[in-house]
Amino acid sequence: MNTTRRRIVQRPATARFLPNLHPVLARVYAARHVASSAELEHTLELLQPPGLLKGMEAAVDLLARAIRNGLRLLIVADFDADGATSCALALRALRAMGAREVQFVVPNRFEYGYGLTPEIVAVAAQYQPDVLITVDNGISSIEGVQAAKALGMQVLITDHHLPAAELPLADAIVNPNQPGDDFPSKHLAGVGVIFYVMLALRSRLRSDGWFDERSVTEPNLARLLDLVALGTVADVVPLDHNNRILVAQGLKRINQGQACPGILALLKAAGRKPGRLAAADLGFVVAPRLNAAGRLTDMSLGIECLLTDSESRAQEIALELDRLNRDRRAIESEMQNQALAIVQELHLGEHGLPAGVCLFDPAWHQGVIGILAARIRERVHRPVIAFAPATEFEIKGSARSVPGLHIRDVLDAVAARHPGLVSKFGGHAMAAGLSLPQTHFDGFQKAFAEEVARHLDEEDLHGEIHSDGTLAADDLTLNLAQQLRAAGPWGQGFPEPMFDGEFEVVNQRVVAEKHLKLYLRAAPGADPIEAIAFRALESATLPAWSRVRAAYRLDVNEYQGNRSLQLVIEYLVPA
């Protein structure tokens, strides 16, 4: 929780209120532009059809021919949770559909960088593949595709990142964001894209009589939705209706204990049990442990966790990933303290904190800069890029933006205004990555701040908390908390409900040195309500507040089999 002064802004209800719902839930949905009850249905029949994706027919032609002819397939994955789930899904699906030779390679971010680079093609060539299939990467890999084609490989790109002006000359490209694509949901994660490709491939093989001809049992691809849900939530893509269906269906399988052994083992390592898990549990519990492999060592370990059908092996890997995640947190904590010191120096400088903040330390760990950028952005309420050394002369940056600023477009504009300043870049509206010579850091820092200032004014750089309004004292109930928890999945673009109000502080204490546990009274005579403000204290000193204004979420606290209402405080100031 950040106690820096911020504005609480009420979300307007821009859609009509839906009938037959709790009035608070109806208000929440209206503020998220839900105009009909159909948008709240999560059945698979409502998914957008695969055939709407441009390039799907060419992709399926290539894969069906490769399976029928027994060609060697090689998946080229990305090194984050979306890439890992995409890779595991592709391998499981292709093998289930009768592909005889399917392997994977994942770039080590510290050696090869991102995507299908010529260097990773050279590694891939050792597997002697006939077909390369990228998952969650490749849309910018012009040179890599050229290198693969020169070696006689066919290339299928499946990706969701925004393309540049030039596309690679692959045999097929499936990406909802490529020019001329009419797929209605532009927010598929990489794992969502490859899931759609596998759906279309299964349909083609079925119509060709492949499963009957080879006595191959037609796979139930819904069994892979646990992977789709995890990758989609982990990549923080907007949860439009199509993505909410994918996540809801995957969560349902996980909560029924029908996930792959790796996901169940990662949950166990985190002390969580299937049953009442929400999307946030995937994003804040499972994904960081899976991502720890790619951040600190090699994502191959995370992919193996998702691929194994052995419960004992899955548990063994999950414990190793849990250990890596603890190491990652320690590294991140030290880097964050150093970054805050840099921010303080900038703030006290002649010109104050710039509109866009760039941070660099030659000792920082390349695998943790994305998390660091996100943490500092939360503190300063402006776009942040954190850099770490990539080679002796080059640095790599990870950017995190704020609402209203498309960070990839900003990088594109900087590169256009200052040719040669940036070596390469790519990404989304809210997150991006880039590389540049270390000697260019000062020039880039200035150019980035100037470009951000062209798009955001001082008013945009104040932190805002978007609230769904105040709640009456009799609405602060366990029943409403349970309804809101079940009403998701909540996430990026479909945010979990947040409320605000004033409370009397009945009691408070410090928990684990930095968390604040409170008991709050919403109205005179009302029963006190338990609340928790995570990471609220810079020290173990209790604030002497008798009344507070808080922005909070209603949550269900489960302890020793008992369930009770708990307010999770996101913002707290004296009233």
Domain CATH for 453: 3.10.310.30
Contacts of 516 (CB under 8 A, 6+ apart): 508, 509, 510, 532, 533, 536, 537, 542, 543, 569, 572
Q: Which amino acid is at 280?
A: A
Q: Is residue 34 part of a domain?
A: no
Clarify whether residues 274 and 403 are in a common domain: no
Distance CA(45)–CA(182), nearest Å, equals 19
List, for residues 219-270, the tens digit of each pLDDT value.
999 999 999 999 999 998 999 999 999 999 999 999 999 999 999 999 999 9
Clarify whether residues 385 and 530 are in a common domain: no
Distance CA(260)–CA(223), nearest Å, equals 9
**Cβ(272)–Cβ(321) under 8 Å?**
no
CA-based nearest residue to 430, from 465, 463, 410, 400: 400
Clarify whether residues 264 and 393 are in a common domain: no
Residue at which a domain ends, from 462, 479, 496: 462
3-state DSSP call for residue 153?
coil
Clarify whether residues 371 and 245 are in a common domain: no
Q: Which amino acid is at 36?
A: S
Q: Is residue 25 part of a domain?
A: no
The pLDDT score that the predictor gives to residue 471 is 96
Clarify whether residues 379 and 494 are in a common domain: no
Q: Is residue 38 part of a domain?
A: no
List C-alpha distances in Å: 65 to 72, 218, 437. 11, 17, 44
Clarify whether residues 142 and 67 are in a common domain: yes
Total domains in the fold of the chain? 3
Residues of the chain with pLDDT under 50: 1-3
Q: Is residue 562 part of a domain?
A: yes
The pLDDT score that the predictor gives to residue 83 is 95
Q: Is residue 481 part of a domain?
A: yes
Longest CA–CA separation in the chain, Å: 77
The pLDDT score that the predictor gives to residue 1 is 47
Clarify whether residues 145 and 64 are in a common domain: yes
The pLDDT score that the predictor gives to residue 482 is 94
Clarify whether residues 315 and 380 are in a common domain: no
Clarify whether residues 148 and 238 are in a common domain: yes
Partners of residue 387 on adjacent β-strands = 360, 397
* CATH, residue 527: 2.40.50.460
The pLDDT score that the predictor gives to residue 3 is 46
List, for residues 343-354, the tens digit of each pLDDT value.
998 887 767 899
* CATH, residue 313: 3.90.1640.30
**Cβ(497)–Cβ(23) under 8 Å?**
no
Q: Is 116 exposed, middle or buried (0-12, 13-18, 19+ CB in 10 A)?
A: buried
Clarify whether residues 181 and 74 are in a common domain: yes
The single residue listed with the structure tokens 């093998």 is: 95
Give DSSP secondary structure letters for 103-125: EEE---TTTT-SSS-HHHHHHHH
Distance CA(330)–CA(353), nearest Å, equals 27
Residue at which a domain ends, from 322, 345, 378: 322
3-state DSSP call for residue 71?
coil
Q: For the chain, how many helices (H) and strands (E)? A: 18, 17
Clarify whether residues 279 and 368 are in a common domain: no
List, for residues 491-538, the tens digit of each pLDDT value.
999 999 999 999 999 999 988 778 899 999 999 999 999 999 988 876
Q: Is 528 exposed, middle or buried (0-12, 13-18, 19+ CB in 10 A)?
A: middle
The pLDDT score that the predictor gives to residue 4 is 55
Residue at which a domain ends, from 301, 322, 343: 322
Task: Indicate the angle between helix axes 118-125 and 142-150, nearest 10 degrees.
Answer: 30
Q: Is residue 17 part of a domain?
A: no
Q: Which two tokens stand for residue 373?
A: 């950028």
How many other β-carbons are positioned within 10 Å of the β-carbon of residue 470? 12
**Cβ(328)–Cβ(368) under 8 Å?**
yes
pTM beyond cutoff 0.85:
yes
Distance CA(73)–CA(65), nearest Å, equals 11
The single residue listed with the structure tokens 């890596």 is: 324
Question: Sign of dihedral through CA atoms 141, 142, 146, 152?
Answer: positive
3-state DSSP call for residue 319?
helix
The pLDDT score that the predictor gives to residue 403 is 84
**Cβ(370)–Cβ(431) under 8 Å?**
yes
Q: Is residue 12 part of a domain?
A: no
Q: Which amino acid is at 453?
A: A
Q: Which two tokens stand for residue 35?
A: 């105009």
Q: Is residue 20 part of a domain?
A: no
Range of the domain at 559: 468-574
The pLDDT score that the predictor gives to residue 426 is 82
Clarify whether residues 504 and 523 are in a common domain: yes
